[in-house]
A and B are shown apart, each in its own frame.
Chain A
Amino acid sequence: MSGPGEGGSAGVLLIDDDPAIRALLRQTLSHAGYGVSEAGSAAQALAERAARAPDLALLDLGLPDRDGLEILPQLVAAGVAVVVLSARDATAEKVAALDLGASDYVTKPFDPEEILARVRTALRHRARLAGGPGGQAVLRFADVEIDLAARQVRKGGAEVHLAPKEYAFLAELAGNPGRVVTHAQLLRTIWGPGHETDVEYLRVAARGIRRKLESDRPPGQSALRNEPGIGYRLDLTRG
């Protein structure tokens, strides 16, 4: 999936204070065809952003001069898709980054394949936000089709009736395929402001969706994946 040339002309800015990690990421990304630039500090990152206008930034939050969360909004405002590099135990930090407009996150230590997958997803998301091609009217995983235009969900060709909130939940994830959407974002969009902490609504809706669409799947193979403490992700590679 990560053959040379997939990146096209997209530019990626690596922001991490560790040169070894930057070298590894540069290797992975340039091999996949991305144009790579590097920054070892927040100040350098902002300078590189201005000089090269990258499409995406891989941002480590522990920078020597400033907290990565401080420069994240500036990058997002400049139209850069941001994928955050963060430690496994930094759940709150990840949620904060996503709430500040980060497109996604990758947990350290990362798998280069996972980095590429997240970068691809984030770039597609950015293209959709810009109104370009990439928005799909019909999304497919396994034998399930989500027809966003017709507001229909089909399994094996037959329409499946989802409850309104279940559909809204699935549609929200389908609108961000492969990308994590935080619990609070989902709850705000679907149930409205004031429901950001009613996580149990999501649990119940997710169960309903799985029961109706994935009852024939082996246990543990749901495409509707929960990231503990963070949010949900529709994993189209599952199936």
Chain B
Amino acid sequence: MTLAHAHSIAPAPGADQGGGLAAGLLAMVALVGLATLLGLTLLARGDLADIGLLYLVPVMFAAIRLGLRPGLAAGALSSLSYNYFFIPPRFTLAVADPSHLITLVILLGVALVGSQMAARLRQQAMLAQAQAGRDALLAGFAGRLMGVTRRDALWAMLAQEVARLFGVRVLVAVPDAQGVVELVTARPAQDRLDLLEAAAAQWCLDSGRSAGPGGQVPTASEWLFMPVPGTQGPLAVVGVGNPDADLPLHGAQAPLLESLLAQAGLALARITLEEEKLALGRVQERERLRSALLSSIGHDLRTPLTTVLGTLRALRPLSPAQTVALASARSEAERLDRFVANLIEMVRLEIGAVQREPEAVDLAEACDAALDHLAPAVSAAGVERAVPEDLPLVLADPRLLHHCLINLIDNAARHGGGRGIRVEAGADAQGGVELAVCDRGPGVPAGEEERIFGMFTRLEGSDRQGGTGLGLAIVKGFAEAMGLRVTAANRPDGGARFALHVPPALIRPVVVPA
């Protein structure tokens, strides 16, 4: 059963009641006949005016139950019967006494007034019934919406419900990433919107107003498109069509569909929220995994490495061949340790867990600490240290700076072709201080000065060997976390030069303590 038939919202409410009306009219005629018979039996004792009152019964019945016209018909029939059977001259339609005319007029008047009152009452009852039906329908629809958790399911359900309730064909279209309408579902099924449909749907989506026959704006399409409202404009458009009728929707159907679409809009907002919550949960899960990875690397990887490296350092070679083997094992284990340290720092950077506690740092001391840490690895290459003693202090996190310098020097040792490393410091062109690590390796390929700091970057076409590309990425990440800038360049006389630039704002004037 469609809504049109169930709830009197359709245009011809009496259509189904034809049989009822005929029976009613029959009953009315019978009542008039009954009143006449009763009148005839009363005629001997009563007076004529009392008999006239008998006709009020069929008139009121017809007026209240059957409406205005049957009511008037009952009035007319009653008047005629009364006139014919009772008013002298009896058995004619002539009226001798004018006072009897008044009785006839009153009968007609009662029919008129009674039927109008009854009609109003009936209309109100019908409206209340229709409203209750709409409420029940909306509540049912809202209930079914509650169970929907995905967008596509929402659109499918909306199309199905609208088709069922209004007895129409349905299209549902949503904006794509560019805001262009795109068909998501249709009943009966269709693949895509044709040109006219797409234009009307697009207009509806863009304007937020209904478009098409019976809508706020007429269009060339025979579909009526209505927006699914959202806080930021329409979320979708729903098209309804009915090839068997001149208009897809009639009378109260349009506001009802509007209510349904408003509910669908709310449901979509809820689904969007749930999707965002789900996405947030996934992000949190990813963060949790990263933290777990961090502690796993920190403990499970470092603990055995500590034993391996400690053992290698404790071993004393018994022959020249063992000396070489042991040195190589040690340097590789140390490299692995630096790699693990870099991996941990990279995860920290990625999850934003890098702590900064800046303090006044003497760059000369920072260089010495980093060189000490790398002593065995860099002593072979030889380090030239050109850091002036009177360099201003800089505000930096000592741990992060230490890690940056270790990575830069380690990078120079590995890519510098085993020749001299130079650590130099001084004023830079921006009025700040720079600390640079230079090598004699193949240098940085032209145009790769930025990319060389990317994660896992191993420059192609260059013979820079080894490494994972993590070290320089961490240098950049840490430097930026401290407010420093890092640059890569080539030395005029060959080799690469990586520099940390301290901006003037982070330079601390050397104060003389009391």
Residues of chain A touching chain B, judged by Cβ–Cβ distance below 8 Å, are 18, 20-21, 23-25, 27-28, 62, 87-89, 91-92, 108-113, 165, 183, 191, 197-201, 203-207, 210-211, 219-220, 222, 225-229
In the complex, what distance in Å separates the CA atom of A103 from the CA atom of B42? Answer: 129
User: Is the beta-carbon distance between B393 and A203 smaller than 8 angstroms?
Assistant: yes
Of the listed stretches B59-67, B200-208, B297-305, B446-454, chain A binds: B297-305
User: Is the beta-carbon distance between A228 and B369 smaller than 8 angstroms?
Assistant: yes
User: Is the beta-carbon distance between B302 and A87 smaller than 8 angstroms?
Assistant: yes
Least distance between B360 CB and chain A CB atoms (Å): 4
What would be 24 A-B contacts, judged by CB atoms less than 8 Å apart? A18-B306, A24-B314, A25-B310, A62-B299, A89-B403, A91-B398, A109-B305, A110-B310, A112-B310, A113-B313, A200-B513, A201-B513, A203-B360, A204-B512, A204-B513, A207-B389, A219-B385, A219-B386, A220-B371, A225-B369, A226-B366, A228-B399, A228-B401, A229-B357
In the complex, what distance in Å separates the CA atom of A167 from the CA atom of B472? Answer: 41
User: Is the beta-carbon distance between A89 and B385 smaller than 8 angstroms?
Assistant: no
Q: Given the known A-B contacts A21-B303, A198-B513, A200-B510, are A225 and B399 also in contact in the complex, defined by CB atoms under 8 Å?
A: no
The interface on chain B, measured as residues whose beta carbon lies within 8 A of the other chain's beta carbons, has a size of 51
User: Is the beta-carbon distance between B313 and A111 smaller than 8 angstroms?
Assistant: yes
A-B complex: 9 closest residue pairs judged by Cβ atoms: A229-B398, A200-B360, A228-B398, A109-B309, A201-B513, A226-B365, A109-B306, A228-B402, A20-B307
The residue from B310, B344, B364, B402 contacting A109, defined by CB atoms under 8 A apart: B310
List of B residues within 8 angstroms of A227 by Cβ: 369
Of the listed residues B371, B383, B512, the one surrounded by the most CB atoms of chain A closer than 10 A to its CB is B512
User: Is the beta-carbon distance between A20 and B357 smaller than 8 angstroms?
Assistant: no
List of B residues within 8 angstroms of A27 by Cβ: 314
List of A residues within 8 angstroms of B193 by Cβ: none
User: Is the beta-carbon distance between B359 and A197 smaller than 8 angstroms?
Assistant: yes
Q: Given the known A-B contacts A89-B345, A199-B359, A206-B365, are A191 and B513 also in contact in the complex, defined by CB atoms under 8 Å?
A: yes
In the complex, what distance in Å separates the CA atom of A91 from the CA atom of B398? Answer: 9
Of the listed residues B372, B383, B386, the one surrounded by the most CB atoms of chain A closer than 10 A to its CB is B372
Quick one: closest A residue to B308, CB to CB? A109
List of A residues within 8 angstroms of B512 by Cβ: 204
Least distance between A216 CB and chain B CB atoms (Å): 13
Quick one: closest B residue to A207, CB to CB? B389
User: Is the beta-carbon distance between B314 and A203 smaller than 8 angstroms?
Assistant: no
List of B residues within 8 angstroms of A229 by Cβ: 357, 359, 397-399, 402
Q: Given the known A-B contacts A108-B306, A220-B367, A226-B368, are A200 and B393 also in contact in the complex, defined by CB atoms under 8 Å?
A: yes
Least distance between A56 CB and chain B CB atoms (Å): 18
Quick one: closest B residue to A110, CB to CB? B310
Least distance between A214 CB and chain B CB atoms (Å): 10
User: Is the beta-carbon distance between A228 and B366 smaller than 8 angstroms?
Assistant: yes
Least distance between B344 CB and chain A CB atoms (Å): 7
Interface residues in B387-408 by Cβ distance below 8 A to A read 387, 389, 393, 397-399, 401-403
Of the listed residues A165, A200, A226, the one surrounded by the most CB atoms of chain B closer than 10 A to its CB is A200
In the complex, what distance in Å separates the CA atom of A228 from the CA atom of B357? Answer: 12
- Does B182 lie at the interface of the complex (its beta carbon under 8 Å from any beta carbon of A)? no
In the complex, what distance in Å separates the CA atom of A198 from the CA atom of B512? Answer: 11
Least distance between A145 CB and chain B CB atoms (Å): 23
In the complex, what distance in Å separates the CA atom of A18 from the CA atom of B355? Answer: 28
Please give 7 more A-B residue pairs, beta carbons under 8 A apart, in addition to A109-B306, A204-B511, A204-B512. Answer: A109-B337, A200-B510, A203-B361, A220-B367, A228-B365, A229-B359, A229-B402
